[in-house]
């Protein structure tokens, strides 16, 4: 009988420890980063407030190919890619193409100044929780998400890409 009284407290301690780990694990799962969408996933419609204060609505984007670029002013690769994106936008906008640059910068003022200094004409916005919910977390920009006219993700890329590769992915959607 004495052996049982010694074993039970140890068993109770192990059980409490196991329950604590399980509770911590489930709480961590609730705070886990959101996954990025995969090619073939349907991207839900979303509204975006642009830096100029206007709203780019999901309804306005419906039926149009859309390239969403997550970028930052402090990202050298982004700074190199943005002029290429401007060329792509100018060339294909008349064909229905839309481009949305979503900045992950912490300071809006830096993005405003950067955008004005470079005279880009495509829409730009600050990242919101809704963008993170849809496109997942981004700590290392740039990230590119090309969505077809039906709202399906058809191309996804992280890092430098260049004009030719983006245009090749876009052309079948026009």
CATH code for the domain of 166? 3.40.30.10
Look at residue 10 and tell me whether its pLDDT is greater than 60.
no
1 has a pLDDT exceeding 80: no
Instruction: Output the DSSP codes for 28-79.
Output: HHHTSPPPPPPTTPBPPP--EEBTTS-EE-HHHHTTS-EEEEEE-TT-HHHH
| pTM of the entire predicted model | 0.80
13 inside domain = no
Asked if the model's pLDDT at residue 97 lies above 90, the reply is yes
* Mean pLDDT, all residues of the chain: 86
Q: Which residue has the higher pLDDT, 9 or 49?
A: 49
Residue 3 included in any domain: no
pLDDT for residue 131 is more than 80: yes
Q: Give the model's pLDDT for residue 160.
A: 95
Contact 126/43 with Cβ under 8 angstroms?
Answer: no
Residue-range definition of the domain harbouring residue 114 = 48-173
- Within-domain flag for 15: no
Query: What pLDDT, on a 0 to 100 scale, did the predictor assign at position 36?
Result: 80
The count of domains in the chain is 1
On the question of pLDDT at 19 being above 50, the answer is no
């Amino acid at each position: 009988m004495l052996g049982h009284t010694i074993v039970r407290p140890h068993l109770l301690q192990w059980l409490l420890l196991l329950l604590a780990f399980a509770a911590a694990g489930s709480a961590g799962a609730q705070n886990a980063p959101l996954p990025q969408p995969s090619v073939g996933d349907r991207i839900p419609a979303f509204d975006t407030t642009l830096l100029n204060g206007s709203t780019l609505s999901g309804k306005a984007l419906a039926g149009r190919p859309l390239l969403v670029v997550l970028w930052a002013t402090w990202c050298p690769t982004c700074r190199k890619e943005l002029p290429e994106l401007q060329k792509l936008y100018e060339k294909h906008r008349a064909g229905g193409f839309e481009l949305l640059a979503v900045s992950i910068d912490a300071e809006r003022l830096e993005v405003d100044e950067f955008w004005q200094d470079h005279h880009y004409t495509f829409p730009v916005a600050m990242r919101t929780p809704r963008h993170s919910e849809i496109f997942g977390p981004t700590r290392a920009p740039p990230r590119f998400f090309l969505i077809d006219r039906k709202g399906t993700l058809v191309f996804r890329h992280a890092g430098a890409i260049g004009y030719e590769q983006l245009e090749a992915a876009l052309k079948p959607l026009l």
